[in-house]
Amino acid sequence: EDKVVQSPLSLVVHEGDTVTLNCSYEVTNFRSLLWYKQEKKAPTFLFMLTSSGIEKKSGRLSSILDKKELFSILNITATQTGDSAVYLCAVRGSGNTGKLIFGQGTTLQVKP
Amino acid sequence: DAGVIQSPRHEVTEMGQEVTLRCKPISGHDYLFWYRQTMMRGLELLIYFNNNVPIDDSGMPEDRFSAKMPNASFSTLKIQPSEPRDSAVYFCASSLIGLRDTQYFGPGTRLTVL
């Protein structure tokens, strides 16, 4: 059965800290891995990763994929209180369809 | 672009009543997804459509749930009869052919069944 596991489940840091969120997966015929940020409403798209070793960056956020070891990390540097959210990892597996399998999410709280 | 539109944003109903949730995907997107999110189970995919055709409904909890997509710009998720355990936030998302990995979510419908 395809599955996505995120760790840690929750994290509390102070502003300015750097955090690393983890996502490991087991899926048939991996196609891509996506990161979403969810505050109090709908998830918003952050990154899509398809190739190993290529870092995607957006401001203070960056992500990289390791297809050999079946995991991805999401880094946030110089965290701000606005980074507080649930970060979701999702993987698209077998077939040429749009179905995504979501992890349980990591809840990040950034304290002032 | 207006993004994915869902209605209603909040719904409170009594057990046994029929509930209909509505979704308008982003124009031109050919995939539409219905998700349910709860504290206990996280985000779950219920069903998705490609070009208005249901592709995978294996996530639909039981026969009380049904979904339709009569045209490219409208979909419904119906629960009949509703039960308290159906209380959740229901999201609709859409994606574009060739970029189908990137799903754009609507604001969600918060359903409370008393």
How far does chain A reach from its first CA to its final CA, in angstroms?
41
pLDDT in tens, B51-69: 999 988 888 988 999 999 9
Mean pLDDT of A75-85: 97
Closest chain B residue by Cα to residue A102: B43
Residues B25, A29: Cα–Cα separation, whole Å = 28
Q: Which residue has the tokens 């490609």?
A: B50
Q: What is the pLDDT of residue B58?
A: 84
Chain B residues closer than 8 Å to A41 by CB = 107-108
Q: What is the pLDDT of residue B5?
A: 96
Mean pLDDT of A76-91: 96
Closest chain B residue by Cα to residue A9: B42
Of A98, A104, A105, the CB nearest to B48: A98
Beta bridge partners of A56: A63
Of B12, B10, B44, B23, nearest to B114 by C-alpha is B12
DSSP state letter for A27: -
Q: What is the pLDDT of residue B42?
A: 85
Residues A39, B76: Cα–Cα separation, whole Å = 25
Residue to test with chain B: of A45, A50, A58, A92, most B Cβ within 10 A: A45
Q: What is the pLDDT of residue A1?
A: 77
pLDDT(B101) > 70 = no
